[in-house]
Amino acid sequence: MTLNSLQPEMRWAAEAAQDKQAVDITVLKLSGASTFAEYFMLCSGSSQPQIRAIAEAIEERLERHGRRVSHREGKPGAEWVLLDYGDFIVHVFSQRARQYYDLERLWRTAERMDFPAPSRPPDSRSDSEDSAPQP
C-alpha cells in the first residue's frame, strides 16, 4: 500500500489530521480481514479539544469533496471519536485510549501504512546564536 494507491478520501482525511497536528497517523487495509470496512485510519491527539478539532477537520475536508459521514461516535470530551464513512472508518484517539484499545494489535494481519509526522518549523534562532564565537 502506498500513498498513491489510497483512495482520495483516505488521503484527504490524513491531510486534514496532519493540518491539526495529529500524531501517529496509520492506515490499516482490512480487505479480506473485515466485512464492515475496507480501511481504518487511526490517529492521536494530545488533548480532548485537539481530538475534537482533528475529527471536525476530517469531516469538513471530506464534506467539501462530497463525502458525508454516515455515523459519528464520541461525545464532547471523549477520548475516542469514530467517523464511519462506510468503506472506511476514522478513529481519533487520545494516546491513552489508543494504547488501551490497541487496534493495531487487534488487526495486526492487516496491511499497514504509517504517515510521517508533521514537519516542525525550523528553529527561529540564527546559526550564529548557537555557535561559540570564533577567534
The predicted model gives 113-118 an average pLDDT of: 80
Beta strands per DSSP E along the chain: 23-29, 39-45, 71-73, 80-84, 88-94, 111-114
For the chain, give percent helix, strand, coil, nearest 5.
35, 25, 40
pLDDT score, position 5 = 76
Predicted TM-score of the model (pTM): 0.82
Q: Would the CA dihedral through 102, 26, 61, 33 be positive or negative? A: negative
- Structural domains in the chain, sorted by start: 14-115 (3.30.460.10)
Q: What is the pLDDT of residues 59-112, one digit of tens each?
A: 999 999 999 999 999 977 889 999 999 999 999 999 999 999 999 999 998 999
Angstrom CA distances, 63 to 9, 16, 51, 66, stand at 10, 12, 18, 5
Say yes or no to pLDDT of 35 above 70: no
